[in-house]
Amino acid sequence: MRKSKDVYYISDGTGIVANNLGKALICQFPKINFNEEKFPFIATVAKAKKIMDYILKRSAGRRPLIFSTIISQETIAVFNVPEVEFFDAYAFFLERLENCLDVKAQRVPGASRKVTGMDIDRRVEAIHYCMEHDDGTKTSEYDMADAIILGVSRAGKTPISVYMASQMGMKTANFPLTDKFLSEYYLPDSIVRNLKRSTGITTIPEFLRNVREKRYPGSNYARLATCRDEIKRAEQIFQKYHIPVISSAGKSIEEMATQIAQGLNLSKGAFVSHIKL
């Protein structure tokens, strides 16, 4: 078994798809150390040849892995050679879709990144709303929110809110459960009248302690007992108001954002299912 392997993500666009696909696959092999590099915006054969020369020289006959989302067959031919293990993210799926749909794909680089003016306007509006309603500000405007995220300090509310706004175009507010609410077990009217838009974020005490300790080392705020008590009280509030809860422990921001969107039946085109599972 190899202990290390060179991995290259190549694309005629941003390389995000190739990067995400490759990472999703190689993470299943934790015993191997992967040396990763990304080469986006490969628009010409000349540039492809320069990059391929670099890859072959760098990997020195060790058959590196190449994950590609390049559309041009001429450019693909530069990389798809016996000296490497070449994985074409589009070829298999596009050919099957062409057969299934009985029509040829247009095979235009960057087609997935094209957005309409309406899409841009929605995202900009959502981002502005998220920034203006972070950490419990302007609660009187929660009626305009697509989603409201509640939780104790450092549970992960803000990054999830930003992701939902910037990537999903959803107006997302987040509200911190401070000592006042945790001690009295109540929520303000602005949230009570918007419970159908609300989701609670919880986590495990050890995870919360580690996050808080990095920011305020040695403080009572970061003590395990404090974290355990706050999480318990927050979960009791969620239960009292019948607010759905997801845990941030061990999950990516993308996973949590998707869970929230699904739980609230929010739609990002065809991204979110409205079927209750």
Question: Which CATH number fits the domain that encloses residue 76?
Answer: 3.40.50
Query: Are 78 and 123 contained in the same domain?
Result: no
Q: What is the pTM of this model?
A: 0.65
Q: Is residue 276 part of a domain?
A: no
SS3 content of the chain, % helix, strand, coil (to 5): 50, 15, 35
Supply the mean pLDDT for the chain: 89
Contacts of 250 (CB under 8 A, 6+ apart): 207
Query: Are 72 and 190 contained in the same domain?
Result: no
SS3 per residue for 124-146:
HHHHHHHHHCHHHCCHHHHHHCC
Query: Are 58 and 128 contained in the same domain?
Result: no
Q: How many helices (H) and strands (E) does the chain have?
A: 11, 8
Query: Are 252 and 126 contained in the same domain?
Result: yes
Query: Are 160 and 234 contained in the same domain?
Result: yes
Q: Answer whether residue 274 shows pLDDT above 60.
A: no
Residue 121 banded pLDDT, cuts 50, 70, 90: confident
Rounded Cα distance between 263 and 258, Å, is 8
What is the structure's pLDDT at 105?
Answer: 77
Structural domain that includes position 100: 4-112
What is the structure's pLDDT at 29?
Answer: 93
Residues of the chain above pLDDT 90, percent: 71
Q: Is residue 96 part of a domain?
A: yes
Q: Answer whether residue 272 shows pLDDT above 60.
A: no
Beta strands in 97-208 (DSSP E): 147-151, 172-176, 198-202
